[in-house]
Homo-oligomer: A and B are copies of this chain.
Amino acid sequence: MFEQLGLIGCGLMGGSFALAAKRAGLVRRVVGYSKSPSTTERARQLGVIDVEAPSALQAVSGSDLVLLAVPVAATETTFKSIRHLLTPEMLVVDVGSTKRDVVDAARRALKGAVGNFVPCHPITGREVSGVENADAELYKGKPVILTPIERTLTKKIDQAEAMWQALGCRVSRMSPESHDAAFAAISHLPHLIAFALMNSIAGQPRGNEFLSLAGPGFRDFSRIAASDPHMWRDVLIANREELAEQMRHFQHALAQFEQLIAAGQTDALEQLITQASHARATWRLTPGAQ
């Protein structure tokens, strides 16, 4: 389907995409670039990319598919460094976890060429990062959300949709704004809470003793706290407005609990927990998003 993938960012997400795309026969050749030359070299040694590019621009040169798999804060700089070589024939996509900032960066950096760029968020990942953990199965069966804007070319959207489907993904579309509000609630705030709780416990004099007693409930609750700091730094800042809005909702819900606990209002407290327990017990993971 594509002759050459220009991969910018050879980490877990980018590397896994390259492996999956090659395996699916979606691309013939992968030219990869990472900010750190040793990562690019390692990606080639591991067979994740075929050719090392010394710059993002050179990864784009001659490619008909370009994937940005960089921390979201690097989106604008990356676009600026490659825009001179972007052609109308190219499909440009990203895999960022936030979309409003990515779309804004694309508008500013790509200007007239923004219609070739289809903003994408594949709902997948792992708590480990780096090209060493690249996995051809990372995208298989996973949901991918496209967040096109008015200027995104319909043809490119269709091409992006077909591309993800070729990797076994289930594709849906929403606005960048809706996307960011939803992910602030279901992903970014939970990560922030998990980070804060780990620091809260580990920072106490008896923190290590406490942690040594923690069981499977804690294990699952805190799993996302082990996520990649650099990526999450960018996500939390990029989506800070929606995150702050979700934080207000959360603090309000928490305060309700605290008041009832302090007042020993057993019945009202049980009712509040029942709401939560029911909501969680009836929730089902989107098929494929395992």
Contacts and interface: CB of A to CB of B under 8 A. Distances in A.
Given A253-B196, A257-B195, A258-B247, A266 B214 contact: no
Residue among A193, A209, A215, A220 with most chain B CB within 10 A: A215
Contacts of A289: 215-216
Contacts of A73: 266
Interface in A191-241: 191-204, 206-207, 209-230, 232-234, 236-237, 240
A101 to B, nearest CB: 12
A145 interface: yes
23 contacts: A185-B210, A186-B201, A186-B210, A186-B213, A186-B215, A190-B221, A194-B280, A195-B257, A195-B273, A199-B272, A199-B279, A200-B250, A200-B253, A200-B254, A202-B275, A221-B224, A223-B280, A232-B273, A233-B266, A237-B261, A237-B264, A243-B261, A244-B262
A220 B224 contact: yes
A104 B49 CA distance: 65
A280 B201 CA distance: 11
Size band of the interface chain A makes with B = 35 or more
A277 B225 contact: yes
Interface string A243-257: 110110110111011
A190 B218 CA distance: 7
Interface of A: 73, 123-125, 127, 143, 145, 178, 181-183, 185-187, 189-204, 206-207, 209-230, 232-234, 236-237, 240, 243-244, 246-247, 249-250, 252-254, 256-258, 261-262, 264, 266, 269-277, 279-281, 283, 285-286, 289-290
Given A213-B143, A236-B269, A250 B196 contact: yes
Given A237-B261, A246-B200, A270-B233, A212 B276 contact: no
A80 B218 CA distance: 34
Given A186-B201, A200-B253, 9 more contacts: A123-B215, A190-B218, A190-B221, A197-B250, A199-B276, A202-B279, A214-B283, A216-B289, A240-B261
A182 B213 contact: yes
A285 B214 contact: yes
Contacts of A199: 253, 256, 272, 275-276, 279
Nearest to A142: B215
Contacts of A240: 261-262, 264
Contact of A210 (B143, B182, B213, B270): B182
A266 B204 CA distance: 25
